[in-house]
Amino acid sequence: MSSGKKMWSAALLATAVLAVTAACGSGSGGGGDSAGGKTVLRFSYWGSDARQKMTEEVIKKFEAKNPTIDVQGEFSDFASYYETLSTKVAGSDAPDVITLEIRGLREYADRGTLADLASKVNTADIDAKVLGTGIIDGKQFAIPTGVNAFSLVVNPSLIQSSKAELPDDTKWTWDDYVALASKVSSGSGGKVTGTQLSWNPAYLQIYAAQKGEPFYNGNKLGLSPQTIKDWWAIMQSLIKDKGAPDAAKSSEIGATSIDQSLLATNTGAMGMWWSNQLGAVTKASGQQLDLLRMPKVQGATSSGMFLQPAMFYTASSKSEHAAEAAKFIDYMINDAEAGSIILSDRGLPASSKVLAAVKDKLPDADKKTLEFIDKVKSELADPPAAPPKGASAMEDILTRYSEEVMFGRMTPDDAAQKFITEANASIAG
């Protein structure tokens, strides 16, 4: 989900877990009453300056409709968001409304931090399977803001100027992908690289599904060592055939934000991101970009691709203003006025009514995203359930071992076994 964002480290995750545990059953979080007699509602979220600006605009609209409620946004960048949140929760100072990713959902739900929102927020217009991703142990702790799919983003003009051709993405394989990337690099005279490597767990999840394996199996990985090694072999082939930068450059690029990616800087023709990021990378590149289906394992019967909520709204179980918190979440999810401001910033709206109301107002890149999701929807697997506790550290762990293999510091056999051991320890519960 991060696609260039910094993830929780294992140490930070441990701190967050301890902090949340310490907070359970102590005190009461949430807002209070301001001097003007209004109910103060605190809302935490992360993102860019543009997201903060649009969110503040939405908050003003909500307050105009609800003059007795004063919403105070608690905004931060993604890198510091969860550390700040865990500190607040530990101090019995949790915000009333909390934005979470699916990777952190079980961390907070299992420790009593979140309120059950069943029947408190109107969810009639949200697809039942998408809504189900916010259910933990039978309770609706989270409401999805919108949906996206992990996909391949391409710059058609750079592919064509390299004397290569766009693939038929209904048929192409990983071998085709490696060959195309190599051809773009060679055909451009070194000015453009075919693609950049991705360590996003969603990529490995898609690849494993094509081989009939789940990423998670309860509180353990469902991946076989061979599947992990085969996945790394794709990266090794890309580097060997110069379809992607070498290990050092790939590591450097992987630590940057999406607007510094090869695709965004027009020095690469392909990359993998969540579909709702098409707008951001299009804006950065200044060129027309398209979404493609992910390549498949030869003979695979499933694409492995899936819909996933971009993020969730949740409410603190300690909030003194539970009704107001639910009302604010309901507005953010179901009000077309809010939707017309947020558009696809938090994924294509989860509410079908809001999506219908705003789709003509979407920027061109987001219209492409909607068209793509509609085109591939029948091929997508059901949205996965929230992963086990500890899954927030998965991208850090996967990136570390992937880089060990790419740099040649570990054999794929050794790295696969150690990755599985460390990942299983992280999600053991």
Task: Please indicate, yes or no, if residue 381 is contained in any of the structural domains.
Answer: no
Task: Please indicate, yes or no, if residue 410 is contained in any of the structural domains.
Answer: yes
Q: Are residues 408 and 295 in the same domain?
A: yes
pLDDT at position 18: 36
What value does the mean pLDDT take over residues 346-373? Answer: 95
Q: Which two tokens stand for residue 201?
A: 């767990």
Q: Are residues 129 and 49 in the same domain?
A: yes
Q: Are residues 65 and 115 in the same domain?
A: yes
| Confidence (pTM) | 0.87
Task: Please indicate, yes or no, if residue 201 is contained in any of the structural domains.
Answer: yes
Task: Please indicate, yes or no, if residue 346 is contained in any of the structural domains.
Answer: yes
Q: Are residues 176 and 57 in the same domain?
A: no
Q: Are residues 184 and 326 in the same domain?
A: no
Task: Please indicate, yes or no, if residue 114 is contained in any of the structural domains.
Answer: yes
- What CATH code is carried by the domain that includes residue 278? 3.40.190.10
Q: Are residues 135 and 155 in the same domain?
A: no
- Please, are residues 194 and 240 in contact by the beta-carbon 8 Å criterion? no
Q: Are residues 81 and 171 in the same domain?
A: no
Higher pLDDT, 174 or 35: 174
Is 29's pLDDT higher than 80? no
Nearest alpha-carbon partner for 276 in 372, 392, 391, 133: 372
Q: Are residues 42 and 158 in the same domain?
A: no
DSSP 177-204: HHHHHHHHHHHTTTSSEEE-----HHHH
Instruction: Compute the distance between CA of residue 277 and CA of residue 363 in angstroms, rounded to an integer.
Output: 12
Is 7's pLDDT higher than 60? no
- What does the H/E/C string look like for 101-142? CHHHHHHHHCCCCECCCCCCCCCCCECHHHHHHHEECCEECC
- Planar angle of CA 57, 94, 110, nearest 5 degrees: 115
pLDDT tens digits for 178-200? 999 999 999 999 899 999 999 99
Question: What is the domain range of residue 323?
Answer: 10-145+311-374
Strand 268-274 with 193-195, pairing: parallel
What value does the mean pLDDT take over residues 161-172? Answer: 96
Task: Please indicate, yes or no, if residue 268 is contained in any of the structural domains.
Answer: yes
Q: Are residues 110 and 16 in the same domain?
A: yes
Instruction: Compute the distance between CA of residue 328 and CA of residue 160 in angstroms, rounded to an integer.
Output: 48
Split into its structural domains, the chain has a count of 2
pLDDT at position 293: 98
With a pLDDT cut of 90, the percent of the chain lying above it is 83
Q: Are residues 175 and 249 in the same domain?
A: yes
Q: Are residues 253 and 367 in the same domain?
A: no
- Please, are residues 128 and 352 in contact by the beta-carbon 8 Å criterion? no
User: How many CB atoms neighbour CB 255 within 10 A?
Assistant: 11
pLDDT band per the 50, 70, 90 thresholds, residue 16: very low
Q: Are residues 255 and 190 in the same domain?
A: yes
pLDDT band per the 50, 70, 90 thresholds, residue 33: low
Task: Please indicate, yes or no, if residue 107 is contained in any of the structural domains.
Answer: yes
Task: Please indicate, yes or no, if residue 113 is contained in any of the structural domains.
Answer: yes
